[in-house]
Structure 1
């Protein structure tokens, strides 16, 4: 959860800033906030999915290594 939060801030802030350069003029603070929330939600979704897939892959690898070690120990 902390990884998702930190990555979203580190990646999201520059993405929102960069995309705001190419967005139509945002006249009011409400429009600016709405733009940041919409882009931020997309960044969060992508980051959370990436972190989940990474954790799932890493956890699967650890379980496989532990099973291999236990199997080798049982054979010895």
Structure 2
């Protein structure tokens, strides 16, 4: 009988969990940071706003992913 789709037995780090937690943590932590930083920036157009969000949000996402991966790796051993 095949395993149900909901279950998995990853060897080492569960990358699906890392991606999901990174996504949620980046929204919960990163969105307020971007919003606060945007109050000091001159953002006259929607393009400038989108570029600002990407320039600030991408490093936040990257750092969050590294922290979540490190946590998952440390706890899986």
Structure with more relative contact order (C-alpha pairs < 8 Å, separation 6 or more): 2
Structure with max Cα Rg: 1
- TM-score grouping bracket, smaller chain normalisation: 0.7 to 0.9
Q: What is aligned with 2:52?
A: 35
1:55 maps to: 72
Aligned residues: 59
Q: Which runs of 5+ in 1 are unaligned?
A: 61-76
Give me the CA root mean square deviation: 0.7
CA distance in 1, matches of 2:23, 2:49: 22
TM-score, normalised to structure 2's length?
Answer: 0.73
Larger fraction in helix: 1
- Give 5+ residue unaligned stretches, structure 2: 1-18
In the superposition, the TM-score normalised over structure 1's length comes to 0.74
